Amino acid sequence: MSKNLEVSTLLDFYGQLLTDKQRETVEYYYNDDLSLGEIAENLGISRQGVRDSIKRAETVMFDAEEKLSLVKKSREFRNSLDVIRNHIDIIDERNMKIYRSDVINESIKVILKELEKIGKD
Amino acid sequence: MSKNLEVSTLLDFYGQLLTDKQRETVEYYYNDDLSLGEIAENLGISRQGVRDSIKRAETVMFDAEEKLSLVKKSREFRNSLDVIRNHIDIIDERNMKIYRSDVINESIKVILKELEKIGKD
């Protein structure tokens, strides 16, 4: 995973821990791919100010991940959701082709809805 | 939910954000139900030092919950897991009683194992 992708992911999880200025500079730099000079001009601060703000933001977010592991846990969680979805599909296919149970069909629908809900976080 | 329970829950999610001293004082106070005087004696610091440490720890954790909502999200997540488990039980019962499909049975086992795994976080 590239550095950029990694910081963008950290932003999704820990962006709320940053100050407005930190978040703004990091989003410009990593999500919008602006140069330090362009960000400096946009925000009316020095290039060095932009660089410092991004560095501090990265420190806050890497530090938070080291302590809370939200990104790591989220990956493991998503793997489990994939496994569950695949096996729900297997049950669904069997049921549709062979048993045609409305009760099972309804339960599958409810489960898929809940999986979609928790998959969004 | 009582104040104590709430702080204990916050500790599960955000304890890693505290200093060792903050975590120690809060655990003694909320989990072990020691008095400020007892904690002061255990740690060899003043009662006021204990009180300040607990206050700071609470501030860090309530602030983190306001920004990251991990406790709130975890509750919603657990509700969804309960719904999914209930409907897996319904499918399982139907299958056991009526269709006796080994394929469905195997998939249910895998799903229950994954649900247990993600339910631990």
Among A residues 65-84, those touching chain B with beta carbons less than 8 Å apart: 67-68, 70, 73, 76-77, 80-81, 83-84
**B2 CB near a chain A CB, below 8 Å?**
no
Task: For residue A45, give the DSSP letter.
Answer: S
A1 touches chain B (CB under 8 A): no
- Give the model's pLDDT for residue B121: 66
Q: Is the ipTM of this complex over 0.95?
A: no
Q: Give Dmax over CA atoms of chain A in angstroms.
A: 69
Give yes or no for residue A25 having a pLDDT over 70. Answer: yes
What percent of chain B clears pLDDT 90, i.e. is strictly above it? 93
State mean pLDDT over B65-89.
95
Residues of A in contact with B117 (CB under 8 A): 80
pLDDT bracket for residue A5 (50, 70, 90): low
CB within 8 Å: B94 and A101? yes
Enumerate residues 40 to 59 of chain A having a beta carbon within 8 A of any beta carbon in chain B: none
d(CA A100, CA B105): 16
| Rounded distance between C-alpha atoms, residue B8 and residue B31, angstroms | 7
Instruction: Taking residues B77-94, report their average pLDDT.
Output: 97
Q: At what angle do helices A70-94 and B70-94 cross, to 10 degrees?
A: 20
Rg of chain B taking only CA atoms, in angstroms: 21
Q: pLDDT tens digits for A68-91? A: 999 999 999 999 999 999 999 999
Q: Does an H or E element contain B13, and which? A: helix B3-14
Single pTM value for the model: 0.86
